[in-house]
Amino acid sequence: MIKGEIEVGPAAVRTAVAERLEHGSALGAYASDRGVRYLFIEKHGVQVLSARVDSSEPVAAVSGTCPGLSWDEREMADEFGIAFDALPDARPFRPVNGELAPAVVATGPGVTQVVVGPVHAGIIEPGRFTFSSGGETIAHLDFQIGFSHRHLEQSFEGADPLDLAPRVARVCGACSASRSLAYAMAVESISDARIADPVHIARQIVVELERVYNHVFDLAVCSAAAGWGFGQAVGLGLKECALRICHAATGHRLLFDAIVPGGVRDGVLDDREEVQTLVVMLQESVEQYVRAIFDNTSLISRWSETGTLTYDAARALAVVGPAHRASGGLVDVRDAAPYGAYRWLPIVAAREEGGDVLARCRVKVAELRDSFRIIHRAFEHLGSRRLNRSAVIPPETGDTVTVVEGPRGAETVALTVRGTVVERVHFISASYRNWPAVAHATTGNIVPDAPLVNKSFNLCYACADR
Amino acid sequence: MAIFNKSIGIRHLVCGSCNGCEHEMNALAGPDYDITQHGWDIVASPRHADVVTVTGPMTEAMRVPAQRTLEAVPGPKVIVAIGDCAVGCGVFAGSAGVGAGACVELGATIAVPGCPPTPSMIKAGLLRAAQALGGPSQPAARDDSMSGSTKVGSTRCTSERAG
């Protein structure tokens, strides 16, 4: 999916990134032994801006002007020893010997700090939230991760790219199918493997099912966080229906290992009629659920003007996915740089302006409806055609970047193969991209709304920690 | 009090899980698997817990918080390992970047394998935990609970595919 690569000197990175941001949105940045790379999603593909690392010349840090890339640059500094010029936040990104860097706090008369985590009061992954609040109002929130860091990228180096697929599927459970698709596309791209149309269509059904179960779950937890028990119960019931459809479609409730390099796993979409019938039933129930949500005046009132993320803030923080589109953003990877079946079976991109919890929920409702439309259309095009797997033979060397639109936004995989094994693989998840925006959107809200703002993004920790 | 013997409070501890087990754990709060009908609850503090569910292969940064959480849970308590990563590291077994699985590292005595296990399997594991704590069908476990022994540090891990 790389449409172009520009190479600049380390000192020119900041200016060059600012120029690229005129054309598209940042996907992230990463380092390898060969240097640093900044990635952008533009019309028709990924633009790469790279710089060789030179010990005499530091890289001009971008996070001062594009704070959304702060995590990427801190990670590059920690893990690859990249020397940056003017890194605004130079704290170690992840815990060192089990200890996190001190949190950034607000101080002043009447301002107090509350630390939450890493272990949370629910079924939630580990992370540390440090709230500074004056009375009920949150003055600052510092969110720090790293507790689920499994050193996955390092441990994947040297592996056969095909053997790696089951581990890639388990980088994160909630966006597994999207990441498996991006990874399969990367392996197939460097191997020049041709994928048959029916397989592309089957994969489209699989990743849209992932969006359906995640978006329904998001509505359920946004109901719960606003104290609406009925909405939570109904939403969790519908999510269970969605997971059972996923099982009927792929043999796995969370779609693990359904998409593999070369195709889809044996057995995927064997019983198409059954899956289609279940999807129709779920769609009807979701419509009733959506009606109940928007008929609930007090719920909508609670969702309105809570956790507002302005267009400018979303842009500066490089926000992706439904959160980006709820703040007036226009980018949906399926639309901007279509891949697989999206090239001839397009989506209708959703968009809202408000940037609050309500806008994010509205975007997800619109996307749910479009996902159902996409799934039905995909089944029509698929018919009874067989899903033959293509041979994938990774070459001696190869390098690519792929990106797909997962439930939370752009899921990026950068893969370099050398000597038929993985030299470097880097995952930029939508959750990694959007966490700083959660902290930003929470600021200025009252403490009891912090979980609601958080759940309106509903991000994962596992794919951000890796 | 006998009727409350099995109404367990559950504290969930994530030690590097991929979030897959958490999605299935979350279903326990939904209408299909509703654990509150058994008097069970996911509690907001380790002080309120009888059972600690653990997931993940164990990461460096979670070792201390996990031990502190277990220390904060009053005895008698039962540790339940949920998912292949916790039980034996699953696809990450042998990887230098992760531990030996939360099951071995924290001394879980009940294991619920699966990647992830289904909500029904998790519920069956929790039922065994409830029985170990107070159920008349498990006198040996009851002796343990009466003595207040915590089993932290034990590497005994009974693996059983729950229904």
pLDDT in tens, A226-241: 999 999 999 999 999 9
User: Can you read off the two tokens belonging to residue A176?
Assistant: 């597994």
Do A147 and B62 count as a contact with CB atoms less than 8 A apart? yes
Report the residue of A96, A99, A119 to disrupt the B interface, i.e. the one with the largest count of B CBs within 10 Å. Answer: A119
Do A254 and B116 count as a contact with CB atoms less than 8 A apart? yes
Residue recorded with tokens 């009940």: B110
List the CATH code of the domain at B8-139+149-162: 3.40.50.12280
Do A154 and B64 count as a contact with CB atoms less than 8 A apart? no
Question: What chain B residue is nearest to A256 in terms of C-alpha separation?
Answer: B115
Report the residue of A128, A170, A210, A250 to disrupt the B interface, i.e. the one with the largest count of B CBs within 10 Å. Answer: A170
Mean pLDDT of the region A110-130: 93
Mean pLDDT of the region A156-161: 95
SS3 A370: helix
B143 pLDDT above the threshold of 70: no
Mean pLDDT of the region A71-86: 94
Least confident range of A159-173, A206-220, A417-431, B147-161: B147-161
How many residues appear in chain B? Answer: 163
User: Can you read off the two tokens belonging to residue A36?
Assistant: 């640093």
Distance from CA of B87 to the nearest CA of A (A): 15
Of the candidates B31, B42, B90, the beta carbon closest to that of A122 is on: B42
DSSP letter (8 states) at residue B162? -
Beta strands in A168-308 (DSSP E): 259-260, 263-264
- How many CB atoms are located within 10 Å of the residue A163 CB? 11
B1 pLDDT above the threshold of 60: no
Distance from CA of B42 to the nearest CA of A (A): 7
Q: What is the mean pLDDT of chain A?
A: 95
Distance from CA of B46 to the nearest CA of A (A): 9
Radius of gyration of chain A (CA): 22
Nearest of B124, B54, B42 to residue B84 by alpha carbon: B54
pLDDT, residue B5, reads 67
- How many CB atoms are located within 10 Å of the residue A88 CB? 13
- Is-contact B88 B101, C-beta < 8 A? yes
Do A239 and B64 count as a contact with CB atoms less than 8 A apart? no
pTM above 0.90, yes or no: yes
pLDDT, residue B102, reads 80
User: Can you read off the two tokens belonging to residue A231?
Assistant: 């909405």
Q: Given phi > 0 = left and psi -120 to 50 = alpha, else beta, which region is A387?
A: beta
Do B42 and A123 count as a contact with CB atoms less than 8 A apart? yes
- Is-contact A411 A430, C-beta < 8 A? yes
Domain ranges (residues) in chain B: 8-139+149-162
Residues B68-118 pLDDT 10s: 999 999 989 999 999 999 998 788 888 878 888 888 889 899 999 999 999
Residues B10-54 pLDDT 10s: 999 999 999 999 999 999 999 999 999 888 999 989 999 999 999
Dist. CA B69–CA B86, nearest whole Å: 16
User: Can you read off the two tokens belonging to residue A138?
Assistant: 């949150």
User: Can you read off the two tokens belonging to residue A396?
Assistant: 């001696």
pLDDT, residue B139, reads 39
User: Looking at per-residue confidence, does A293 or B88 come out higher?
Assistant: A293
- How many CB atoms are located within 10 Å of the residue A447 CB? 15
Residues A409-451 pLDDT 10s: 999 999 999 999 999 999 999 999 999 999 999 999 999 999 9
Nearest of B100, B105, B109, B99 to residue B140 by alpha carbon: B109
The dihedral over CA atoms of B17, B20, B23, B28, expressed in degrees to the nearest 10, equals -80
B152 pLDDT above the threshold of 70: no
Concatenated DSSP letters for A43-92? TTEEEEEEE--BTTB-EE-STTT-GGGHHHHHHHHHHH---EES-S--S-
- Is-contact B91 B101, C-beta < 8 A? no
SS3 A33: coil
A266 pLDDT above the threshold of 60: yes
A454 pLDDT above the threshold of 70: yes
Q: Give residue B4's pLDDT band: very low, low, confident or very high (50, 70, 90).
A: low
Distance from CA of A14 to the nearest CA of B (A): 33
Do B32 and A151 count as a contact with CB atoms less than 8 A apart? no
Q: Give residue B135's pLDDT band: very low, low, confident or very high (50, 70, 90).
A: low
Dist. CA A63–CA A16, nearest whole Å: 13
DSSP letter (8 states) at residue A99? B
Report the residue of A96, A116, A144, A147 to disrupt the B interface, i.e. the one with the largest count of B CBs within 10 Å. Answer: A147
How many residues appear in chain A? Answer: 466
- pLDDT > 90: what percent of chain A? 92
Residues A301-348 pLDDT 10s: 999 999 999 999 999 999 999 999 999 999 999 999 999 999 999 999
Q: What is the residue type of B43? A: V
Distance from CA of B116 to the nearest CA of A (A): 9
